[in-house]
Amino acid sequence: MFSPQEIDAVLKQAQTAVDSLAQDVGAVAAAPVAAVAGLGSQGEPAEGVDHILKIRVPVAVRLAEREMILSEILAMGPGTILEFNRPVDSELDLMVNNAQIGRGVAVKVNERFGLQINHLGNVRERIRSLGG
């Protein structure tokens, strides 16, 4: 287990690296993808970024969404069907940390769901979308 001090130190390093990376992304107009991703010339993580690249973030696939009034939500029960204004054959949204970074189609992988990615923003777009 890690001590609270070790966790705080890693989080502080990660925040510093994120701040630095955000400034670099905003300031660099046409940097190579590796530089924007925080990678050095040999493809290894730049100093401080290696901690960020190990952070686990929630990845989800969004089928559809809609707004409802609270009384409709409270009236729902088992068997309720919610209808969405999205065609059944449309692409699904790939979400990372509650930000859309791409789109794809649902696929079956053995007995599980998967997502075949059809569009993914470049590294710069993905970093910006994760920044909030």
pLDDT at 28: 41
Rounded distance, CA 127 to CA 37, Å? Answer: 8
Rounded distance, CA 48 to CA 41, Å? Answer: 15
Rounded distance, CA 130 to CA 20, Å? Answer: 15
Rounded distance, CA 104 to CA 92, Å? Answer: 5
Q: Where are the domains of the chain?
A: 1-55, 58-132
Whether the Cβ atoms of residue 46 and residue 38 lie closer than 8 Å to each other? yes
Rounded distance, CA 32 to CA 63, Å? Answer: 33
pLDDT at 64: 93
Per-residue pLDDT of the chain (132 residues; tens, 9 = 90+): 566 776 667 667 777 777 776 666 554 433 444 444 555 555 555 566 777 778 888 899 999 999 999 999 999 999 999 999 999 889 999 998 888 899 999 999 999 999 999 999 888 777 777 765
pLDDT at 32: 42
Q: Which CATH superfamily is domain 58-132 in?
A: SpoA-like (2.30.330.10)
Rounded distance, CA 93 to CA 84, Å? Answer: 14
Diameter over CA atoms, the chain: 58
